[in-house]
Amino acid sequence: MPRLLILEFVVLAALWGSSFLFMRIGAAELGTWPTAGLRVALAAVFLLPTFAVAGVWADFKQHAKPILFVGLLNSAIPFGMFAFAVMHISTGLTAILNATVPLWGAVIAWLWLRDKPGGSRWLGLAIGFAGVCLLVLGKSGSDASGQLLNTINPMSLLAMGAALVATLCYGIAASFTRRYLDGVKPLAITTGSQIGAALGLAVPMLWFWPSEPVSGAAWGAIAAVALLGTALAYMIFFHVIDQVGPSKALTVTFLIPVFALIYGATFLGEVITPWMVGCGAVILVGTALSTGLVSWPRRRAPA
């Protein structure tokens, strides 16, 4: 892989890892739906000039309905779920749960597109979901900073459930895009989906708009997650896909929790526990197997 592409890959993981930090800072004052709504609205405005690229506007007009709809699945609902999650569990834990996206993608592709997993991919799905269950069980008694509590925390369970709903939506969106938007220019999907997400979140954003003044730090965090963690990140992501294909581009999911854990510990004082690291490793192993990035070695037949 060329050095420039490797650099883009690492930058992409760093940008998406930072989005959990910025969402926490913004959602603490703005709340769930204003955070998600502003994120996609600002990203859509930033991306509008891409319609001037040859063929992008024509592709969007031709496929407007599915592109706008995929914005709900791939941005509006997940961003809302994650904005809620980071207020009740640590950003690092949220990022680890985000690493289950390829697991859901494999399941949805099998059920919807009949892309049946092979032997090692079945094993990967089992390992990955076992890791998720262990992670949820082990962190159900923790607060937003990662500190363990003496009793089960219902809000932590709800937040982890919301994060998994977000990853499920990503998995559905991937198969939907493959089924209905194959061959459509990536910039048309990127920009159009953010417009669709902004339209879908307009009413919830205004309905739940905070009554108290919002600090400059919160506004800055929203601007950062919209421009860096959404608009710029998606442009880099689709460029990586164009260069190496979706399977290799998908491995960026492995790096995102690393950056998110570092950001959370450095800037928010979040606790990184051995249980989180261990379960995260189990999830990543399962993800690698379930997506076919690695395969279980087969025994050679005797000569």
Which of 24-33, 96-105, 199-208 has the least mean pLDDT? Answer: 96-105
In this predicted structure, the answer to whether residue 47 has a pLDDT above a threshold of 60 is yes
| Distance in angstroms (rounded) separating the CA atoms of residues 280 and 268 | 20
- The amino acid that residue 115 corresponds to is D
Q: Per mean pLDDT, which of 21-30, 105-114, 232-241 is the most reliable?
A: 21-30
- Burial code (b: 16+ CB inside 10 Å, e: under 16) for 85-115 equals bbbbbbbbbbbbbbbbbbbbbbbbbbeeeee
Confidence at residue 66, expressed as pLDDT on a 0 to 100 scale: 96
Question: Tokens 């950001």, residue?
Answer: 263
Query: What average pLDDT is seen over the chain?
Result: 87
Confidence at residue 295, expressed as pLDDT on a 0 to 100 scale: 64
Confidence at residue 112, expressed as pLDDT on a 0 to 100 scale: 87
| Distance in angstroms (rounded) separating the CA atoms of residues 137 and 77 | 25
CB within 8 Å of 101: residues ≥ 6 apart? 167, 170, 171, 253
In this predicted structure, the answer to whether residue 137 has a pLDDT above a threshold of 70 is yes
Select from 109, 68, 116, 91 the least CA-distant residue to 225: 91
CB within 8 Å of 183: residues ≥ 6 apart? none
Can you give the pTM of this predicted structure? 0.87
Percent of the chain with pLDDT over 90: 51
Contact 97, 279 (CB under 8 A): no
Dihedral of CA atoms 262, 230, 173, 186 in degrees, nearest 10, equals -130
Can you tell me the mean pLDDT for 53-59?
Answer: 95
In this predicted structure, the answer to whether residue 227 has a pLDDT above a threshold of 80 is yes
Select from 104, 93, 128 the least CA-distant residue to 21: 93
Confidence at residue 251, expressed as pLDDT on a 0 to 100 scale: 67
Confidence at residue 272, expressed as pLDDT on a 0 to 100 scale: 86
Confidence at residue 151, expressed as pLDDT on a 0 to 100 scale: 74
Banded model confidence at residue 204, pLDDT cuts 50, 70, 90: very high
Question: Is the pLDDT higher at 41 or at 286?
Answer: 41
Percent of the chain with pLDDT over 70: 90
| Distance in angstroms (rounded) separating the CA atoms of residues 144 and 85 | 9
Contact 46, 229 (CB under 8 A): no
In this predicted structure, the answer to whether residue 205 has a pLDDT above a threshold of 60 is yes
CA atoms within 13 A on the CB side of 137: 7
Can you tell me the mean pLDDT for 272-277?
Answer: 87
Confidence at residue 117, expressed as pLDDT on a 0 to 100 scale: 65
| Distance in angstroms (rounded) separating the CA atoms of residues 251 and 293 | 8
Q: In this predicted model, what pLDDT tens digit does every residue of 66-91 receive, in sequence order? A: 999 999 999 999 999 999 999 999 99
